[in-house]
A and B are shown apart, each in its own frame.
Chain A
């Protein structure tokens, strides 16, 4: 039994970095803050790789199954003998995989930020927040206890708020960070309710025990949770759906997706870390963690699947019309996470049916690499051009060769062109969908064609289309610290696809054999190539065709451009309905009735005191008179009345 207690350093080192940089960074360490942050992350990444190596290769399998290992468990709050909130570290295939992903991508972002954020006044604060986020995310993936994951969930939300609103003097950034926090917090209401429901019935908060109890049809807890029902739907489904709502908020599924495009107000490396690779996949991770319970209750998984599929399609349509490059990438992220969600949704526990689980995790793994690569390239481009809008860019392939190549590799990966990483993971997802639910399969096929179209629309508009403006050349492509992560991530994007993921991650720990069916995979690849050709014909050289197509579909185009008016609907609901119907009467009651009552009491007291203060005139003679009057009265009372 190998000693895994060094894994507790993995989340704790970034926490230490946060404390040190937060307290003393601005004053004393501002020049070397970046170096400190990056070195600590380098240490963690090495530790994560060692952990992964140990877990997968040296520890290996026992009985053909990867055993989950509790490296650390501490009872923090004990409610009853059986129910307590523990803080612990669990190592099982998905958590170790997430460890590797989170620490590696965070390291790349730290290195990139050394160049991107250079000259920023609040440099140390930025690195402190990045370390806080890394700590929170690592704590989230290593949680043994559903309440612990909730705690770190909220911490991740806080770090995201701090990082999106990093440029706090821009009102749009402040509004975006508030929006992100409020929407995810609202979703977390559902999450907490779901936790309470499940914990109440399963009488435990620990993941392993909870899964064990709720997936055993003979256990008393399963009986209690399946028997109780509300509106005809069993409480188990309610609990799982509520937990999924929490995950949907964090992962920007429809209709809780509104915060993700606005969150692009943060710096580009932040978007690469949080909104591409790590935080937004927290919802997927949550469903994967509770997958055995989800798959026991088919209704909840169906909800997951349809929500994911719809979000994927929805986001892909909107992405075809957006002009801000980071917004395009944001919607692309939403679409890809939709893929991961519905892949989980079509999977069932055990054997061949669980291909969706492995595929989803594989796609999470590869998506982290190529999406963060895309965002970092976007960051490099924005750094050069000083604008986010596609219309200001064009012909950049001459100015930024390395960025060009990396961006192209990432685009190939996301559209699923072999032999890049995205091809393998997308193939597995499409296979899983085909085997379970044909409707979702066709939706995902159409969406992957759209993905190819809008990604290459972006690529061609950035790097071909027009000639670059002359004044761009003064900057240069960026320092070595900005180019190095791009190159490393591009290399990973190329080779990550060849990992046989099924031998590491699967829903029950056993090896899952995945085949590559050439005939089957021709369809999506062919569709992708056609879409790429279509995009090139529209955007490779500047011409009139995009404008003509836009006017041909004008109503639909307008709706897609305005993101299908979802934001306006939310604004309408909150302003007209919530504020007027609930807010205003409540404010009126508070001001007039509650405050009025207090004021009335005060006024009455003041009036009474005004009336009787004349009694205290300061004239002793008057006092003598009252004194005698009192004595006479008391004398009468005591002598004649009271016996």
Chain B
């Protein structure tokens, strides 16, 4: 058992436990915080996998942006201190069963497959490589998805504003 393996297991357990707590706890604010921990754990996992750039992006966007957004919306729509309701027993049992069944199915398929690496060279990520490749038009270039995603972000922004806007008739009544 090498040290990296042990670290990996600790991080994995952390992620799973906080994830489980996030979906089962009854207080909504605590759920958001558990989610935050889970995301931070995933960022740690990325650090362990030597992809620092992704880890940094994860913390900046996910943990810093989305969770904050979620917390805002919690405050906007209800009292953060209240307990949430539980769903029906039958629903919960079916969900547990289906999740366990799905997990068993997927993992049985995955475990039967031997994954062979294509080459032995270690992964080399330099941020400058990422940058040039993101903008290059030759092969392995991702300029087109880059542009599309910027349009998507624009559309999402406008859409959110339109959806969340109070329409005039609602305010005047």
Contacts and interface: CB of A to CB of B under 8 A. Distances in A.
The answer to whether A and B assemble together is yes
Interface of A: 622, 625, 628-629, 632, 635-636, 639
Interface stretch (B17-25, B90-98, B157-165): B90-98
A632 B95 contact: no
Given A625-B98, A628-B98, A629-B98, A635 B105 contact: yes
A419 B115 CA distance: 132
Contact of B95 (A625, A635, A636, A639): A625
B33 to A, nearest CB: 23
Contact of A632 (B91, B101, B109): B101
Interface in B56-112: 91, 94-95, 98, 101-102, 105, 109
B46 to A, nearest CB: 28
A172 to B, nearest CB: 72
A625 B109 CA distance: 22
A625 B91 CA distance: 9
A632 B94 contact: no
Size range of the chain B interface in the assembly = under 10
Contacts of A622: 91
Interface of B: 91, 94-95, 98, 101-102, 105, 109
15 contacts: A622-B91, A625-B91, A625-B94, A625-B95, A625-B98, A628-B98, A628-B102, A629-B98, A632-B98, A632-B101, A632-B102, A632-B105, A635-B105, A636-B105, A639-B109
Nearest to A636: B105
Contacts of B105: 632, 635-636
Contacts of B102: 628, 632
A311 B95 CA distance: 93
Given A625-B95, A628-B102, A639-B109, 12 more contacts: A622-B91, A625-B91, A625-B94, A625-B98, A628-B98, A629-B98, A632-B98, A632-B101, A632-B102, A632-B105, A635-B105, A636-B105
Contacts, number: 15
- Chain A contact residues, majority secondary structure: helix
A636 B106 CA distance: 10
Contacts of A628: 98, 102
Contacts of B101: 632
Nearest to B109: A639
B8 to A, nearest CB: 29
Contacts of A632: 98, 101-102, 105
A625 B98 CA distance: 8
A257 B94 CA distance: 83
A625 B97 CA distance: 11
Which 10 residue pairs are nearest across A and B when measured between Cβ atoms?
A632-B102, A628-B98, A629-B98, A632-B101, A635-B105, A625-B94, A632-B105, A632-B98, A625-B95, A636-B105
Contacts of A639: 109
Nearest to A622: B91
A625 B94 CA distance: 9
A628 B101 CA distance: 11
A622 B94 CA distance: 11
B101 to A, nearest CB: 6
A628 B100 CA distance: 12
Contacts of A636: 105
A617 to B, nearest CB: 11
Nearest to B99: A628
Contacts of B109: 639
Contacts of B95: 625
A635 B109 CA distance: 11
A136 B96 CA distance: 88
Contacts of A635: 105
A629 B94 CA distance: 10
A111 B95 CA distance: 97
Contacts of A629: 98
Nearest to A631: B102
B106 to A, nearest CB: 9
Nearest to A640: B105
A70 to B, nearest CB: 86
A591 to B, nearest CB: 45
B14 to A, nearest CB: 27
A636 B91 CA distance: 22
A364 B91 CA distance: 96
Nearest to B87: A621
A629 B91 CA distance: 13
Nearest to A628: B98
A636 B102 CA distance: 10
B141 to A, nearest CB: 35
B68 to A, nearest CB: 26
Nearest to B97: A629
A632 B101 CA distance: 8
A639 B91 CA distance: 27
A625 B99 CA distance: 10
A636 B105 CA distance: 8
A636 B98 CA distance: 13
A642 to B, nearest CB: 15
Nearest to A639: B109
A639 B108 CA distance: 12
